[in-house]
Chain A
Amino acid sequence: MTTTAFPHVLSVRIRPLLGLASVATALIATAMALIWAPPDAVQGQVQRVMYVHVPSAWTAYLAFIVVFLASVGWLWTKRPAFDAIAVASAEIGVLFTALALVAGSIWAKPTWGVWWTWEPRLITTAVMFVMYVGYLLLRSLSSDLEGRATRAAVIGIVAVVNVPIVHLSVTWMDALHQLPSVLRPGGPALDDRMLATLIAGVVAFTVLYAWLMVARTALERARQERVLRARDA
């Protein structure tokens, strides 16, 4: 197995730029979310939690698509860089998923009085969370680099395939049995400024994701190199 060092330029030059961009976009999005966007007519200020909840969820889904692509990449080429990308994205994805779920709860409690609502999208997000925690658990219990990468890659692929299937079956079930939920899909339309803020939030989270990815992937590559060099000793 040949190792190609993670492009140095990304690590040294782009990382600080990404960091700067991340801080900048985060500040802008926060300002928009807290000040510029109007409060919701019905829910009031609490509705602003949406500007954390929705972008986190979006970024989480993005992260797991990256895990999928990296998993396929590993299985196809056996290049360790792909495995590094996969684990980095999975870890960050788990964090964002947890954030999305917690933010969702914080939004739900004062608004509708419940910590959790059996809404298809939320259920899908929760299932996704469990799957990727399982992914990380599997990795932690494997010890050799290649075996671990291959096993994780299989799960990474299965997990992504499962997400739409879960969503579909839970939506059917919801249609049939009316899951006890206060949040029905297709709610009130979004105000223009709310939409803009939401987009700003998505951008900010995506940039944050990219920044964290570069850092975590570089770290993983360094660990991989250390292991591979140790084999030669």
Chain B
Amino acid sequence: MDDRAVLRSVDLDLVPGITVLRGPNGAGKTTALRALAGLVPLARGTREVPFDVLYIGHRPQLLHGLTPRESLRFFLEFRGPTSRAWATPVKTTAREMREDRIRVACDRWGLAGESDRPIERLSAGQRRRAALARLDLETCALTLLDEPFADLDESGSALLWSWLREARALGVAVLVASHGHADLDAVAVRAYALHEGRVAA
């Protein structure tokens, strides 16, 4: 990356429900989301995100050599108590419950058959589904989705739509970056447009 300001003026106010961030390729949507996720140090400005963020990026972020189930287990265990809806002192029971949740999530996202195959043997669409399965497991106050519909077929898209509607009903704050999908406006509570690093509401 050259020393070039990718984001020049981004002022985002995230509220419960779905916020859409639109913009053409190269506008800086991915950088904006990465900055919100805490992955990019800001040269200027502040990032006030006083709670857990779930960032599902442009690429699946799953380590090659692990199965979807193993990756999901890793994320869930890493987050620790905050992502468990309940906490039990008995380790075995907690593990069983965790495995149960992972199995349910894999089923819901249509990965039942593939959840025990190493991720590099799965298609792009299946990897995307595996990444999105985190949405059901790691519950965070803010969820960032960068082009989540990429690589998804019709059934996958339908699953994502149903999750988005659920999230809206639950009041979870979700920021979706997308350069297409006009129908997102139907579920969105707010929309921003990013153009050459600047935001307009």
Binding site for B on A (CB under 8 A): 1, 143-147, 227, 230-232
Cβ-defined contact, A146 with B41, below 8 A: yes
Tally of contacts, chain A with chain B, CB under 8 A: 22
Offer 7 A-B interface pairs, CB within 8 angstroms, sorted by A: A1-B43, A143-B1, A147-B41, A227-B3, A230-B3, A231-B5, A232-B8
Which residues of chain A have C-beta atoms less than 8 A from B4's C-beta?
Answer: 231
Cβ-defined contact, B3 with A144, below 8 A: yes
Contact for A1 among B1, B2, B8, B44, CB less than 8 A: B44
Interface string of B3-20 (1 = CB under 8 A from A): 111001000000000000
- Chain B: interface size category: under 10
Whose C-beta in chain A lies nearest to the C-beta of B6?
A231
Closest 6 CB pairs of A and B: A231-B5, A144-B3, A1-B43, A143-B2, A143-B3, A227-B3
Cβ-defined contact, A231 with B43, below 8 A: yes
Expressed in whole angstroms, the minimum distance between the Cβ of A134 and any Cβ of chain B is 22
Q: A144 CA to B31 CA in the complex, in Å? A: 15
Cβ-defined contact, B2 with A146, below 8 A: no
Expressed in whole angstroms, the minimum distance between the Cβ of A22 and any Cβ of chain B is 34
Q: A144-B2, A231-B5, A232-B8 are in contact. List 12 more A-B contacts (CB 8 A).
A: A1-B43, A1-B44, A143-B1, A143-B2, A144-B1, A145-B43, A146-B41, A147-B41, A230-B3, A231-B4, A231-B8, A232-B5
Which residues of chain A have C-beta atoms less than 8 A from B3's C-beta?
Answer: 143-145, 227, 230-231
Cβ-defined contact, A146 with B43, below 8 A: yes
Which residues of chain B have C-beta atoms less than 8 A from A143's C-beta?
Answer: 1-3
Expressed in whole angstroms, the minimum distance between the Cβ of B127 and any Cβ of chain A is 29
Which residues of chain B have C-beta atoms less than 8 A from A146's C-beta?
Answer: 41, 43
B17-49 contacts to A (CB < 8 Å): 41, 43-44
Q: A227 CA to B43 CA in the complex, in Å? A: 12
Which residues of chain B have C-beta atoms less than 8 A from A147's C-beta?
Answer: 41
Whose C-beta in chain B lies nearest to the C-beta of A233?
B5
Which residues of chain B have C-beta atoms less than 8 A from A227's C-beta?
Answer: 3
Q: A231 CA to B42 CA in the complex, in Å? A: 13
Q: A7 CA to B41 CA in the complex, in Å? A: 27
Expressed in whole angstroms, the minimum distance between the Cβ of B5 and any Cβ of chain A is 4
B91-130 contacts to A (CB < 8 Å): none
Q: A230 CA to B1 CA in the complex, in Å? A: 15
Which residues of chain B have C-beta atoms less than 8 A from A144's C-beta?
Answer: 1-3
Whose C-beta in chain A lies nearest to the C-beta of B4?
A231
Q: A227 CA to B4 CA in the complex, in Å? A: 9
Q: A231 CA to B4 CA in the complex, in Å? A: 6
Expressed in whole angstroms, the minimum distance between the Cβ of A80 and any Cβ of chain B is 10
Interface string of B132-149 (1 = CB under 8 A from A): 000000000000000000
Q: A227 CA to B5 CA in the complex, in Å? A: 10
Whose C-beta in chain B lies nearest to the C-beta of A145?
B3
Which residues of chain B have C-beta atoms less than 8 A from A232's C-beta?
Answer: 5, 8
Whose C-beta in chain B lies nearest to the C-beta of A150?
B41
Whose C-beta in chain B lies nearest to the C-beta of A1?
B43
Expressed in whole angstroms, the minimum distance between the Cβ of A146 and any Cβ of chain B is 6
